Amino acid sequence: MAGIKFNSKYGMACGWELNKIVKKVKENAIESEWSITDLIDFYNILKYIHIKQFSDYIVQKTDIEIRTYEKKIHHKIGHFINKYKNDYINFHDNIASNSTDDFWEIFEKYKLYKKVKNSDFRAFLNKDNVHVYSILKFKQLAKHFDSEIKEVILTDSSNAKIILSKYIKEDNLYLPSSLTETEIYSLIDEYIDSPQVNINTLRQIITYPVGKGLNIPDKIKLHAMRKEKIEESKLFNDGTGIKTRVMISYPNDQEEVVIITMNDNTANINISLKWIKENLDYPTLWNNFIYIFSFVDIKMRLQFVSKTSDMGVLESLMHPKEEHLYTTSFSFRYNKMLSNAEIYSYIKVLNDFDIRLEDMIEWFFSKYLKDEFKISNFIVKMPSKETSYFEKCRTILPEIDRIFKQYNLLVEDGFIDQELIQMSSSSVKSKDIKSLIEKKYVYSTSDWYKRASHLLFSDQSSIFYMPNKEDNYENFLDLMISEHLKKNDFEEYQLQDMEWLFENNLICEDKEGYLEFIDQKVIYILKELFYEEVINYWHYPDNIRRVIEGLYNQNFVNLKSSLFSKNEQDYFDYYLNKSKFTNGHDIRNKYLHGTNSNNEKQYKTDYHIILKLIVIVVIKINDDLCIKEDYMSNSQ
């Protein structure tokens, strides 16, 4: 039987671990002659005992007197430590790899490091199965063996990854105080040229943020950038990388508007050229971005944003969220490639009909807004057809700022004063673009929401693990939809967590004792927030909005007003600047400050990205105005 491990009170593995503890108790393993494995097992058992719901479960299954048993464990641990205090470090070779942290935690807690000579510890650090990362988690060890640990760190350039992890991911690591910044930068530079270099670590160096404990020189970042290109080419040339492609074609004889098929790792998207040819009016051409290319969903939420729910457990572990980095998951990269291909191909098709997307943009602001919403004096000037792509980029980027400023003024004053616009030369951040709607987006960061969404939707929740069921379920919601369940189908430790759902009126028992959701509308709202991260309030029916209001009155959700939702704001920041994300494209600042590349192909790519952003702006402004008009007409 594998050793006992304590990870988290809410971990999915708690059920397995508790059953292992019950078995140990029933076998009276505490009375055996302990090995290092037994020491670590019972050290972890104490952690479970200290949590009431787990100790109650152990008592229920074993009938032991838990406090007496706890004292017995403490006594046995003390006896083992006292007996082997001079030889404890030699047990390291006999532990499982997942017990390393527990081994060092005991070593530090009982001050066993004081029994080890510095010279012996230095020799110990040279062993193949000893990893300095594990030791750096413990402050007293890093302090006591400062010079020995520093020497080991500097002898292997791959330890640069540990140092970056400490500062970027804010891992709770303790570096030797004698390790200098100069030595750290030298180690990082050496690592870049090392045979074991990792492309993800290179990207960490390139995108290293300001104010994170280090100030990595630009020369080292450039060194890493050049190395990344070499490693990236190797990744795909040797066949180890998985290439995903998007193929968009416009067949002239296709009756269906759009047909999407998957072939291996290629998405084939066929769009009827015949249909486009028969519908060349500007409103329909604009609607194609919504109904053919799916830039937004039916709730008018941008579909290209990065969302936590799009990442699986493995991908989340491989690419943990870091505040200074925009999360570029596989799903996000695919949508990025798809949207870029869509905008590029659509522009090309429109040009074949002598229609420019730039003209459609000008038409929207100058004519459509005036005809549909009585909004005049909204000025947007697009680059001419003859302009080079470099000049197009330089010309169009200020127009994004001008659009934002004009819309803000429209929201504030109800009209656009161009002279007032000209008074300010500062740019407007995407988060500061206002909305005509007071209650526009629904979010939640409340503790209530976090607990509810974890229990109901997370694949890391412990309450949907059903070993006696043949099917595997994604989460508790999936389990409830698929099975008729009663309380006695669950283990006691699961019922402890589920009790919160009962107490908060999310689930109940029906007359026959089967579990059911009390209000499916609440579950639907929570599900929308969990998977989409935002709700566009006015795109939901009255009965859903009433439930949202109820949740808002209980401080379970927030109602905010802005043109873009928070994840849409992040999307714009990712492309336009690096004020929030160091791995962003920084398109605006590149052309503003003259740090853009001297590459015509890149100019063309950047220009199409900018056009894509303006298309999104148009869709969001139109939605905002339509909601306002519908809301005003319904309230009259």
Cβ neighbour number for residue 321 with a 10 Å cutoff: 12
What phi and psi values does residue 285 have, to the nearest 5 degrees? Answer: -60, -35
What phi and psi values does residue 357 have, to the nearest 5 degrees? Answer: -60, -35
Task: Look up residue 281 and give its amino acid.
Answer: D
The 10 Å CB-count burial string (b at 16+, else e) for 161-194 is: bbbbbbbbeeeebbbbeebeeeebbebbbebbee
Pairwise CA distance, residues 605 & 600, whole Å = 9
- Looking up tokens 């947007």 gives 380
**What is the rounded (10 degree) CA torsion for 28, 34, 38, 42?**
60
What's the pLDDT tens digit per position in 508-551? 999 999 999 999 999 999 999 999 999 999 999 999 999 999 99
First to last CA, the chain: 71
Pairwise CA distance, residues 162 & 175, whole Å = 9
The residues of the chain scoring below 70 in pLDDT are 1-2, 8-14, 170, 235-243, 313-314, 317-320, 470, 632-636
* Three-state DSSP state, 137: coil
Cβ neighbour number for residue 620 with a 10 Å cutoff: 23
Closest CA to 289 of 619, 66, 52: 619
Closest CA to 462 of 445, 479, 447: 479
Sign of CA dihedral 610, 612, 618, 623: negative
Beta bridge partners of 302: 296
Which two tokens mark 204?
A: 């960490």
Task: Look up residue 241 and give its amino acid.
Answer: G
How many residues would you count in the chain? 636
Pairwise CA distance, residues 217 & 316, whole Å = 29
Pairwise CA distance, residues 307 & 329, whole Å = 8
Distance of CA 259 to the CA centre of its chain: 31
Q: Are the C-beta atoms of residues 456 and 523 closer than 8 Å to each other?
A: yes
* Three-state DSSP state, 559: strand
Q: What percent of the chain has pLDDT over 90?
A: 69
Instruction: State the pLDDT at residue 321.
Output: 72
- Looking up tokens 């990744």 gives 235
Instruction: State the pLDDT at residue 45.
Output: 93
Contacts of 144 (CB under 8 A, 6+ apart): 113, 114
Which two tokens mark 369?
A: 């807004």
Contacts of 17 (CB under 8 A, 6+ apart): 4, 5, 6, 48
Which two tokens mark 52?
A: 């009431």
Q: Are the C-beta atoms of residues 13 and 20 closer than 8 Å to each other?
A: no
Cβ neighbour number for residue 503 with a 10 Å cutoff: 8
Which two tokens mark 246?
A: 């998007």
Closest CA to 400 of 193, 237, 589: 589
Pairwise CA distance, residues 188 & 185, whole Å = 5
CA atoms within 13 A on the CB side of 574: 19
Report, in angstroms and rounded to the nearest whole number, the Rg of the chain calculated over CA atoms.
30
Pairwise CA distance, residues 603 & 388, whole Å = 9
- Looking up tokens 């007003």 gives 561
What's the pLDDT tens digit per position in 110-120? 999 999 999 99
* Three-state DSSP state, 305: coil
The 10 Å CB-count burial string (b at 16+, else e) for 240-257 is: eeeeeebebebeeebeee
The 10 Å CB-count burial string (b at 16+, else e) for 407-423 is: bbbbbeeeebeeeebee
* Cα separations in angstroms, 65 against 6, 25, 57, 60: 22, 11, 12, 10
Instruction: State the pLDDT at residue 313.
Output: 66
Instruction: State the pLDDT at residue 462.
Output: 85
Helix axes 36-49, 66-84, angle to 10 degrees: 150
Pairwise CA distance, residues 244 & 222, whole Å = 28
